[in-house]
Amino acid sequence: KQEVTQIPAALSVPEGENLVLNCSFTDSAIYNLQWFRQDPGKGLTSLLLIQSSQREQTSGRLNASLDKSSGRSTLYIAASQPGDSATYLCAGKGGSEKLVFGKGTKLTVNP
């Protein structure tokens, strides 16, 4: 059974800092790994999707990597801004359509 863990649960950084959010998963037979953003009181918005055959994906200031052998994914945010403050969740997808989510990392970027 796939389990996804995100550490730390919360992170506070000053504006402009580069940061890394971590995600680990137990089953390396992963179809894809996705990163989502959740703002307070809102639903989830997809940020990046990495297929199992890929190593990383980039979108603007965001870069996500996937290392199946170690069961890890990272989300790198460059030059963080207060608008990046949100909860970031990673989710692994196996052979079915089911996503298994971590509990998220709550990021606060201080002006």
Query: Which residues here bind other proteins, judged by CB under 8 A?
Result: 31-32, 34, 36, 41-46, 49, 89, 96-104
Q: Which two tokens stand for residue 38?
A: 């959740």
Determine the Cα–Cα distance for residues 30 and 46; give it in Å rounded to an integer. 18
- Tell me whether residue 55 or residue 98 sits nearer to other proteins (CB atom): 98
- Tell me whether residue 2 or residue 63 sits nearer to other proteins (CB atom): 2
Cβ neighbors of 41 (< 8 A, separation 6 or more) are none
Determine the Cα–Cα distance for residues 76 and 10; give it in Å rounded to an integer. 15
- Tell me whether residue 11 or residue 49 sits nearer to other proteins (CB atom): 49
For residues 5 and 24, is the Cβ–Cβ distance under 8 A? yes
In angstroms, give the least distance from the CB of 19 to other proteins.
21
Which neighbouring-strand residues pair with 59? 62
- Tell me whether residue 64 or residue 80 sits nearer to other proteins (CB atom): 64
For residues 37 and 47, is the Cβ–Cβ distance under 8 A? yes
